[in-house]
Structure 1
Amino acid sequence: MAYKITAACISCKRCLSVCPTGAVKILDGNHSIDSELCTNCAGGIYTVPQCKAVCPTVDGCVKEPSDYWEGWFVKYNRVIAKLTNKQDYWECWYNTYSQKFSEQLQKNHVVV
């Protein structure tokens, strides 16, 4: 499964210099990854694809789904998460912990 460069790309050109197979190309001013050359940096010294590792954006370089439905569900889940404005698990945990900790401090009359 190859990676692809999305519209979130800011054209920083970092991926051009780090790709070990030269799969990253600039065509008509847009970055793209040649799926025939992309190996996901597997079988080498890298533990993660280098284009993804150096990308300064969150979604500038993403794994291309292997089939239509896999891609559809990935996009669906991303859109639903934005629409429902779900809180991150750790953010929710921190807020709950902070509230409980504050209650304990107030109960013990400790001023912070």
Structure 2
Amino acid sequence: MAYKITAECISCKRCLSVCPNGAITMVDNQHHIDAKLCTNCAGSIHTVPQCKAVCPTYDGCVEETTDYWESWFKKYNQLIAKLTNKQDYWECWYKTYSQKFSEQLQKNQVII
């Protein structure tokens, strides 16, 4: 699976010099990774793809999925992760609200 340069790229040109296969080139003033030359730095001394390792934006260089279902499940898992985070937010809000409501009820019961 090859990598691709996204719109997050800030054109720092770090990836051009670190790619061991020379797969990254400039096309119309934008970086482009040739999928035929990109090997994800597998079989080299590097343990991670070098374009990803030197990218200061983190999302400037990402894996490009060629399989439809693989990309579908990746997007699905990202959305589920967001929903899970939202669930944590609402659980926290509910606990705080119910605690405050309980305190208010206790205050009112003491007065009566």
Give the structure-1-normalised TM-score: 0.68
Q: Any residues of structure 2 matched to 1:39-50 within 5 Å, and which?
A: 39-50=39-50
Please name the residue that 1:28 is paired with: 28
Displacement after TM superposition at 1:84 (Å): 6.4
Please name the residue that 2:73 is paired with: 73
CA-based RMSD of the aligned residues comes to 2.2
| Matched AA of 1:43 | G
Unaligned ranges ≥5, structure 2: 88-112
More helix by share: 2
Displacement after TM superposition at 1:24 (Å): 0.5
Unaligned ranges ≥5, structure 1: 88-112
| Matched AA of 1:49 | P
Matched residues, percent identical? 76
Corresponding residue pairs, total:
88
Give the structure-2-normalised TM-score: 0.68
